[in-house]
Structure 1
Amino acid sequence: MPDQALLDDLRLAHVLADQADAITLARFKASDLQVTAKPDLTPVTDADTAVEDALRTSLSRTRPRDAVHGEERPDSGWGPRRWVIDPIDGTANFVRGVPVWATLISLMVGDEVVAGVVSAPALARRWWASKGGGAFTGRSLLQGVPCRVSGVGQIEDASLSYSSIGGWIEAGRGQQFVDLLRDCWRTRAYGDFWSYMLLAEGTVDLAAEPELALHDMAAVSIVVTEAGGRFTSLDGKDGPHGPGAIATNSLLHDEVVERLSLEAE
């Protein structure tokens, strides 16, 4: 069981998620939604920046000694405790009116994620986890159902979720990924946070993406691992530190890492 201080941090993460949900739902499908392109040509909306600004303000009051790392604003603070925020994971979906997007909130101590919340209000779903406390899904902290990964042990029986094939080609692992797709029982591009939450629930057996940042991975990684799965870089290093991510039900992990390695072709 997590200690009381960590439970307090997890409760705060839920409060922050409530705050984010109120902002994002109010702007979802808004006729006056403002969308611009960042230097990397990915979209950012006024909802993204509004959520991150609001959560940073809340953290400055409730955890003034903690550092904050977010997707849209410069890092603030310094120290071993760091909150990691992705205000809207799946901004492209948000812009197009697709309800598969979420706010990702996590707390890291050093390089380790110790608590995380993934909130997808348009789906009326939320997932959360804390170190040693397990992973759960539900509408609120008091109404959670435990998450557990699947027991599938063979690639030919596995369901794989991904975001796109293009990134794998750019990463020089395109043929390896296509071969893996062909050998799996079922493949679907659920994408973004959704792939990893389905994995944690046991309805998907493996998920992988070649290009991710810390804010994309931190919150989802602890939900996966506390549900009994593994979350590593493409090269098999545990944690949300990249490059990219491979997440599985643990049973399939070593084989998937080997098959997607640069030496596998």
Structure 2
Amino acid sequence: MEKKKKTLKVSIYTQKGGVGKSTMTVLLASVLHYRLGYNIAVLDCDFPQHSLVNMRERDKKAIMESDFHKKLAVKQFNSINKRAYPIIKCKAEDALETAFNFIENSAVQPDILIFDLPGTANTKGVIGSLKGMDYIFCPITADRLVVESTLAFSDVFLKLPAQNANVVEQSLFLFWNQVDGRERSGLYEAYQTVIEGLSLNMMETRIMDSKRFRKEIDDTGNYVFKSTLLPADMPILKATRVDQFVKEFLKIIKT
């Protein structure tokens, strides 16, 4: 009997707000599912706001009200013959059990589950769920408070003991997000030295900042960037280097 391929559990996580956690989750999930052929599911554990569940509803409405986006959606479905990836609402404390039940009951086994967890680490269930991830990717910006907070959290988190016998070998990677091309590179190099001193992993790709990160498809006109139903346009992916991020992400998780 052929052994099932393991479904990877991944979280883009930071305990600092405004650093792009949920946005990067959507961009990554949409590129992987709609453009690269992976079967993705997203668990929105960010109770009570559940921003990704609500975003999916806004996306549905926006597509129905826009001829441009409606045509893209029809073309996409006819091309890949694939439904939108599911966004599953749950609480952080129930995230791993919800993921297990979803995998067990899915007609098509997901390749990757992406967890959007609350940014407050002391929220019930957050640390336990993070300890159940195969990979954690932490966005950071060139802000002293963001960097110091993320480095402190990462250092402490990786030293925490496993919470069960079925522990996974965890990998945590930091990556620069919302990079302003006008910022002096020496600032990043100084932070890099500190990060290396803590023996933390840093991705090579730096995500460039863009006003498009702050817009959803009901506010974009004739292009797509942040959407749970459509993949971002390739020219914008390249301009922001999200395309390079996805390639490096796949190399890290080895799929």
Select the structure that is richer in strand: 1
Select the structure that is richer in helix: 2
Please tell me the TM-score bracket, short chain as reference.
Answer: under 0.3
Scaled by the length of structure 1, what TM-score is found?
0.24
